[in-house]
Structure 1
């Protein structure tokens, strides 16, 4: 069995991730998070907030509506430009995303190509329907947004947002007035986005409903230097340049400062976020060699962008974007000024007005979870069971409390410890089965530490703490337990 198959099986069995609406056959591209998965997702998001938001004094969080009027997406360009290429089988009528079909069949990189170019490749390479082998139609474009008719009469057209960014842009003036923020400053949002994917696939990778964590960082384009970068400019990253992609060469390791000097990263502000992304994902347990930053090719880059650099992770199926870094210039705010007729400029103390430029790091939370599960999973024949080696900070459950035996005194003492610890930690209590089976169950959901109440506990008020990674045990007084756990969990 493939590693990812084992992971998805455990994920369902132990309450990480369930297929959505499974009792009715499910809905492709949608998943539900169970009790353990919810905690894992929450802790990753909390860590993201701590790392990117709470550590800054100039980034403000907001939460905006999932439903937005059509005019927003007319202004942003989504109505015309938020499209994917599709092709339909003439025989079985199944619809496929054309660029993915070509990439799967030929391993060619065709992202960003137009319908005519994709149709030509399908004909030249004789690519057929993967379901029935039938001939494919010419490639067309398909808008990915979910349309809604709002109101009792359904006479107002709206859409489920395809990204969290537009909610930030339309609230730029509100946030600016309410916070009195000074450039540079950021507005962040964590929330759901929706895209009517043609062919959702690869588990948590390509979804119709997903969670984004985005920052729109507003800057004065005349201010090229960013003071905060000096603390991160020597962070080493693996870069796949445009030249390397065209010549089929591998990534090259360099500091973010070197990447700036080579004009791979277009601004010091983006370099700052890229360095922090590298450190953040390493802190989640992703190996350095499984992280790279790919400079998007010119033909992939939106016309208004001054440069896009994707952070990609090496998954079981290949490299995939997890964070998109874009220098969006002043495109979005200018478009909303044009369509709304509102003044969205920033006014300096001397009265000078500008439309700020925007640096955007956009994180896919479900893709991050997939990566964490993949690189935390340990196939352990020696131990006799497979388990997750989560970094303690994001482990869904931090501590398990077990009585050694099913004896009343041990159970009562264990429950007493459990009730005290749950005030500070995510804790479970388990008295079912042998102690070995309970350790196995705890390992399987990545619990870093297991506390066992035994005969000695009843004599001297001490317990054992078992380390998940080493299986070694240490004896600790109950009165010192909370402090000891905080140190072990790095809280």
Structure 2
């Protein structure tokens, strides 16, 4: 009995010992596998190899910050979101509204333009006349296996990018040529690896049934232009206007993108700020000759690889730009992006589109593009010389003349249009001004574009500093500034939070403030602090570009040079 008990105990100990080794081995194997998987994942991410991931860096950090701090995020996240729809949060909307306000100042108020608002939905006949039902399309490739749809030129762009080959010019290729390249290169479905069907044209507009009976077919507008064109005659007569007639619109546009991507750059609903300039092509018109003198347009001419700089008038004389009026608005838009929004001048260019790449309505077409770190050159403004295409087509389809009577004759106006995508400009601007080092990240926004004008903090939450800080906060807010107040956390962390969202100045109330009514004003970019009286804060920050005042008038000598 005793012997059998000893044998049983021995086997039990041996079994525990064995299982202990097995358990330790399994844990070790699991840990090794976890480390290996995450090392491979990190390596792939760094190389940009994972599907859907472009690369670690500015883009991923900025998008994470934007979501965390209230700039933008995917819409309806609790329902899983749908690609191409984004919610602009409180701080993102502040920056967006300031961009729009600046655009209104320079392209509406300063130009004497008439701003109107037309419906988002327009009848089908409008888009038949404009040619959008025929020409407003993108090349679509559909997977034969999983049925997913992709833009053929984007598939080829990704294919060439992985090989390290240049990718410019794919947009100018015909549907037939894109299909040939997809077949020749063996491009497969990025989702399942299946083969792709024939490349075909896909109409980008959303159609809607208007009314309870659905008797009228309409479309969500893909641009605001057609609303301005069909109302041109009414605006001309009601406002007792003369050519050149300038009609402005800021509004939503809708495009049923095949493959939305790149955050706010290619989406399905977005805001546009458009200026339609109707003019007499037979009459030379230069809105501001002084503005053009000494300016340098940065042009990438169709068929060339390098940007060249021209004076606006030389660009006209050499035949690159149709006339002085268009040269003026191109120069002003370049100046707006560099001197007002703050893009470096060397990262802004006008790229001329070739015949195959131009929109169906354009005779001459320049895209204002900005250079971004993750995406390369991104179009922000469509500059199209539409000649009399729109006016003539709507007149032909409706039988109503859109000509105007000036100087004893009927004139069929030509149309030039600088059309600015506000959301993608916002995103490209945030990419441009995003900074980071070992200690912090910050948005180096111009003060007149930043979401907050300044922030006010008490140094600590005792000794009467909170009451004094709130008093300073009320005074500054009463002067029309958009001010943020915060008293929680260490002063260093509060500074970092404001740096991250681009607040240009932080005002700190400390114990000395109670004695001599002075505060410290901290600069976001340099982190330097100066001490000024409470009654001097407003003048101090105004002199450095914070509204109100007139922060929107950089020196004329700096026009177009980004200074």
Unaligned runs of 5+ in 2: 1-55, 161-166, 550-563
Match of 1:183 in 2: 243
SS of aligned partner of 2:394: helix
Q: CA RMSD in A?
A: 1.4
Cα distance in 1 for partners of 2:497, 2:315 equals 45
Cα distance in 1 for partners of 2:317, 2:110 equals 27
The answer to whether residue 98 in structure 2 is matched with residue 69 in structure 1 is no
Q: How does 1:229-244 map to 2 (within 5 A)?
A: 229-244=289-304
Match of 1:268 in 2: 324
**2:280–2:414 Cα contact (<8 Å) kept:** yes
Task: Report the CA distance between 1:154 and its aligned residue.
Answer: 1.9
1:414-448, Cα deviation, whole Å (9 max, x unpaired): 11111221231110100000111100011010000
Q: How does 1:133-282 map to 2 (within 5 A)?
A: 133-244=193-304, 249-282=305-338
Match of 2:392 in 1: 334
Match of 2:151 among 88, 91, 97: 97
Cα distance in 1 for partners of 2:75, 2:281 equals 45
Match of 2:35 in 1: none
Match of 1:388 in 2: 443
**2:247–2:277 Cα contact (<8 Å) kept:** yes
**2:135–2:360 Cα contact (<8 Å) kept:** no
The verdict on how the C-alpha distance between 1:227 and 1:430 changes in structure 2, with shifts beyond 3 A counting, is closer
**2:287–2:328 Cα contact (<8 Å) kept:** no
Task: Report the CA distance between 1:234 and its aligned residue.
Answer: 2.7
1:189-228, Cα deviation, whole Å (9 max, x unpaired): 0111000000000001001001111011011010134242
Task: Report the CA distance between 1:463 and its aligned residue.
Answer: 1.0
CA radius of gyration, larger in: 2
Match of 2:191 in 1: 131
1:21-48, Cα deviation, whole Å (9 max, x unpaired): 1111111101111111110100111111
Match of 1:437 in 2: 493
Structure 1 segments (4+ residues) deviating >3 Å: none
Match of 1:478 among 530, 534, 549: 534
The verdict on how the C-alpha distance between 1:234 and 1:243 changes in structure 2, with shifts beyond 3 A counting, is farther
Cα distance in 2 for partners of 1:111, 1:303 equals 13
Match of 1:41 in 2: 96
Task: Report the CA distance between 1:116 and its aligned residue.
Answer: 2.0
SS of aligned partner of 2:531: strand
The verdict on how the C-alpha distance between 1:302 and 1:25 changes in structure 2, with shifts beyond 3 A counting, is closer
Task: Report the CA distance between 1:114 and its aligned residue.
Answer: 2.8
1:44-76, Cα deviation, whole Å (9 max, x unpaired): 11111112222123x111111111111111111
Match of 2:381 among 323, 328, 340: 323
Cα distance in 2 for partners of 1:233, 1:333 equals 32
**1:86–1:98 Cα contact (<8 Å) kept:** yes
Cα distance in 1 for partners of 2:168, 2:185 equals 11
- Relative to structure 2, which stretch is displaced further, 368-377 or 230-239? 230-239
SS of aligned partner of 1:180: coil
Cα distance in 2 for partners of 1:153, 1:479 equals 65
Cα distance in 1 for partners of 2:289, 2:210 equals 45
Cα distance in 2 for partners of 1:194, 1:140 equals 21
| TM-score (ref. length: structure 1) | 0.96
The verdict on how the C-alpha distance between 1:230 and 1:483 changes in structure 2, with shifts beyond 3 A counting, is closer
**2:172–2:355 Cα contact (<8 Å) kept:** no
Task: Report the CA distance between 1:306 and its aligned residue.
Answer: 2.8
- Relative to structure 2, which stretch is displaced further, 204-213 or 231-240? 231-240
- Number of positions where the alignment pairs a residue of Structure 1 with one of Structure 2: 483
Cα distance in 1 for partners of 2:260, 2:116 equals 29
Q: How does 1:415-426 map to 2 (within 5 A)?
A: 415-423=470-478, 424-426=480-482
1:100-140, Cα deviation, whole Å (9 max, x unpaired): 11222133622143322221111122222122221111111
Unaligned runs of 5+ in 1: none
Cα distance in 2 for partners of 1:5, 1:70 equals 41
| TM-score (ref. length: structure 2) | 0.84
Match of 1:27 in 2: 82
**2:120–2:220 Cα contact (<8 Å) kept:** yes
Cα distance in 2 for partners of 1:63, 1:20 equals 26
- Relative to structure 2, which stretch is displaced further, 396-405 or 97-106? 97-106
1:381-429, Cα deviation, whole Å (9 max, x unpaired): 2xx1111010001001011000011016111111111122123111010
